[in-house]
Amino acid sequence: MVQRLTIKPGVPLSEQPNVIGMNRWHPSIPPVASIKPGEEIILETLDFLDGQIANDDNPEDVRKVDLTRAHPLTGPIYVEGAEVGDLLVVDILDIGYITPFGFSGIFSKENGGGFLTDYFPDAAKAIWDFHGIYTTSRHIPGVRFPGLTHPGLIGTMPSIEMVHEWNRREAPLAAEGKAKPPYPPTAFLGGLKGDSFDQAAKEACRTVPPREHGGNTDIKNISIGSRIFFPVFVKGALFAMGDLHFSQGDGEISFCGAIEMDGYSHLHFDVIKGGMKKYNLKQPIFVPGPNDPHFEKWLIFEGISVEDGVNYYLDATVAYRRACMNAIEYLQNFGYTGEQAYMLLTAAPVEGRIGGIVDIPNCACTVAIPTGIFDQNILPT
């Protein structure tokens, strides 16, 4: 019988009947379960906003959301025999939803923002209904697509030295409001209590950015059937995950986010002894799953690193933003508002690619939309 950690949907992580998770990274957080190499486990996880978003038509909850409660992760899982320098091999055998709907949204510029917040500063929300492998949204009519279901966030625990280094290097950006420093008031550190909690909460890293342990990479192709090789930085690896996405476009551009859901992940663990050194690995690598949806026809938009008349030097971020804006402007020819198109790009299985990144001074990026997800022809005719 496979071990399973269960959630009570709709209940915040800190009020769950059992201690099953955490919303910060710190190596002193005690494990919630342990597993041997070769074994499987099923982890249930809450949506990335800890149940704050309702299945209704009002984006007010998105506008007022408390982002410091993100992300409720399930873990850490102690992997027996895993030691510093090993590789933890995680197979994502399956992922599924628990409640049959999810959400995408646009954070307001004042509270969270997103990749295109200068163009779409107001909060918005789209609810997605799940129909087996497919999803549709009453808020973005005329589209239906299969999920490319994956965890937005998955990783091993950093060592205490890494925690310190992350805080150090992020501090200058945090001072400008461009990074999120430790924030004890809403920290939830699993079973950690009292002084230990107070001590850890001051330095426990926020879960927002991806880092060397994986974390919130929001890589949509770490999908069902993937195998990921994680560096082990602490004894037992202390694996954790959350932020399940029914589907996401590359970039998760609205920040709020993909199609966010409660769900479960069926995992298999193994360990490669001494693998970090053997393969010279300091960051995760992975092999994507075999069942990602097939699409025959894509419509692809180009963007270059020129914005508002200014030429940026080989800037892929600007180029990708322009590609996304070009796509959004185009989709408005087919009955969508800009906000709908924005939420579609963040949610549908669109691909964001690097084109040329050397052709000075301009970088080219592309965003590709599978045309088959629409119930109308979106090609020029």
Least Å from the CB of residue 353 to its own copies = 6
Burial 303-317 (b: 16+ CB within 10 A, else e): bbbbbeeeebeebbe
Nearer to its own copies, 16 or 150 (CB): 150
Q: Say which amino acid occupies 79.
A: V
Is 112 strand, coil or helix? coil
Nearer to its own copies, 17 or 358 (CB): 358
Least Å from the CB of residue 153 to its own copies = 9
Least Å from the CB of residue 92 to its own copies = 8
Least Å from the CB of residue 15 to its own copies = 25
Q: Which helix (H) or strand (E) holds 198?
A: helix 194-201
Least Å from the CB of residue 28 to its own copies = 23
Nearer to its own copies, 67 or 234 (CB): 67
Q: What sign has the CA pseudo-torsion 260, 262, 268, 273?
A: positive
Q: Which helix (H) or strand (E) holds 48?
A: none
Least Å from the CB of residue 193 to its own copies = 29
Nearer to its own copies, 84 or 173 (CB): 173
Nearer to its own copies, 185 or 381 (CB): 381
CA distance 81 to 328: 50
Least Å from the CB of residue 354 to its own copies = 3
Least Å from the CB of residue 57 to its own copies = 21
Is 242 strand, coil or helix? strand
Tokens standing for 82? 């895993």
Nearer to its own copies, 19 or 357 (CB): 357
Within a 10 A sphere around the Cβ of 58, how many other Cβ atoms? 10
CA distance 83 to 276: 11
Please state the φ and ψ torsions of residue 12, each to the nearest 5 degrees: -55, 155
Least Å from the CB of residue 283 to its own copies = 5
Nearer to its own copies, 185 or 297 (CB): 297
CA distance 256 to 122: 12
Residue with tokens 């002084």, as numbered in its chain = 195
Nearer to its own copies, 134 or 183 (CB): 134
Nearer to its own copies, 58 or 332 (CB): 332
Rg (CA), the chain: 20
**Cα–Cα distance list, 197 to 186, 208, 278, 337, 345 (Å):** 12, 20, 36, 46, 39
What is the DSSP code string of 153-172? EEEPPPPHHHHHHHHHHHHH
